[in-house]
Amino acid sequence: MATFTINTEDKKSEKALKAILKVLEINYQVENKDKAKTESRPLNKKEKQLYESLKNTFLDIKKWERGELEFKDAKTLFDEL
């Protein structure tokens, strides 16, 4: 098991990191040394869009790893442009 420590005071970064960890199904723990409890708020519209985009991307990567989805290679993609 590996342990990572990330220190941030930026609430937007904290929300984004939590969203990524949730999509990857990684357990995490938040320790807030300044406050006894961690405050939470609902995601705003842009945060929800980012979360959904990241979630779909990671789901596509998982499908690709299982062989259920195939991505084009970079040369093919550039040739199409």
Query: pLDDT over 70 for what percent of the chain?
Result: 89
Specify the DSSP element, H or E, that contains 59.
helix 45-65
Q: What is the pLDDT of residues 43-66, one digit of tens each?
A: 888 888 999 999 999 999 999 999
Supply the pLDDT for residue 65.
92
Helix (H) or strand (E) holding 72: none
The model's pTM: 0.44
Give dist(CA 81, CA 50) in Å, integer. 26
Distance CA 73, CA 8 (A): 36
